[in-house]
Amino acid sequence: MSGVNGYHELFELMVDKGASDLHLWVPSPPVLRIDGVLTPLSEFAPATPEYVETVFDEITTAEQKNTFLEELELDFAYSIPGLARLRVNALKQRGTISLAFRLVPYEVPPIDELGLPEICKRLVLKPRGLILVTGPTGCGKSTTLAAMINHLNENDSRTIITIEDPIEYLHSNKKCLIAQRDLGDDTKSFATALVHALRHDPDVIVVGEMRDADTMSTAITAAETGHLVLGTLHTVDAVQSIHRIVDMFSPSQQRQIIIQVSQVLEAILSQTLLSRIGGGRVAAFEVMIANSAIRKLIREEQVFELPRNMELSTKEEGMQTLDQALADMVRSGIVSQEEAMMKSSNPGRLSSLLQFEHAAPRL
């Protein structure tokens, strides 16, 4: 990697090879993540502290540099005109700067193109309530939210305020009026931005991440007062999501939060990425819709019964557990059984589902 602008060649390679991520870590050569697999670029020299610092200096503003000096970590977006838009995370490791770049397409992919559950189209058109998209880091939660907002933008007329860290997909106004706020540049915290968003005449609020009790409490209040609120959690399924929400609050608040969640929750979509047979990656989704039975189980604190209720729901309701989704993908030849087992939170249950080889797929 010679020359100050050598990193542009890395960005071009990232796009050409269809990589999702690029890592610049000292003393490793640049590494791409392609279809979930780390691929070192051995033709490049190992990154030096001076080189990574030069890249960091060129792609950040003075304010971003000051934030990094104070906090020793930074999330921000970086655009390369005509090539790509990137989400960047900078942190310190062993006294050097480490950079991770996530590729974000310029265009928001449609729901159908991404293979999202069809019910996503109906959910995002709801007038009010709380919709959560959950899953581990890097599984595509932001892309799912962006696709749902894009569907709303094309099919209804509403005011939408997003609060993101950082802004990834750029939305243009179609039928909706959309304001996108960047954590750091446009606002100081999710919780504060959410409070002020409520005074800005929104119909829909998108919260990039539900990180704390203040953010969650305000989001629930917004849903109670007639807004549609969409947000993300780093949880693997519906059961863990409910537990995470409740655990954000003190024991004296938890009963009230359980009641509120049972009333305002519309759905939890939990997703994970798997390696597809033949190459590429594909998302599997657990879908929990808050019907009357689900609301009752949450209200009565019988969250452990949610998966069984989801399994027994009708196909028309659109619900499925993650294991049901994984089993259908294995039967359809989309992913291997070994890959599905690795992603399942209940391999024993998945194994039981796969024994019914002649069962009709739900997807």
pLDDT tens by residue, 184-197: 889 989 999 999 99
Residues 176 and 47 in one domain: no
How much is the pLDDT for 311? 92
Residue 157 placed within a domain: yes
Compute the Cα dihedral for 68, 72, 76, 82 and give only its sign. Answer: positive
pLDDT (tens digit, 9 = 90+) per residue, 108-133?
A: 999 999 999 999 999 999 999 999 99
User: Residue 24 belongs to what domain range?
Assistant: 7-104
Residue 360 placed within a domain: no
How much is the pLDDT for 357? 53
Residues 96 and 21 in one domain: yes
Retrieve residue 105's tokens.
């397409």
How much is the pLDDT for 2? 42
Residues 213 and 309 in one domain: yes
Total count of domains within the chain: 2
- Quickly tell me which residue has 């929104």 as its tokens: 202
Residues 89 and 170 in one domain: no
Residues of the chain with pLDDT under 50: 1-4, 358-359, 363
- DSSP letter at 316 equals G
Residue 363 placed within a domain: no
Residues 263 and 157 in one domain: yes
CB–CB of 333/277 below 8 Å?
yes
Packing angle, helices 251-264 and 238-247, rounded to 10: 140
- Last residue of a domain, which of 46, 75, 104? 104
CB–CB of 119/144 below 8 Å?
no
How much is the pLDDT for 4? 39
Helix runs in 226-284, H state only: 238-247, 251-264
Residue 1 placed within a domain: no
- DSSP letter at 128 equals S
Residues 49 and 144 in one domain: no
Q: Does the model's pTM come out above 0.85? A: yes
Residues 285 and 342 in one domain: yes
Question: 361: part of which helix (H) or strand (E)?
Answer: none
How much is the pLDDT for 356? 67
Residue 305 placed within a domain: yes
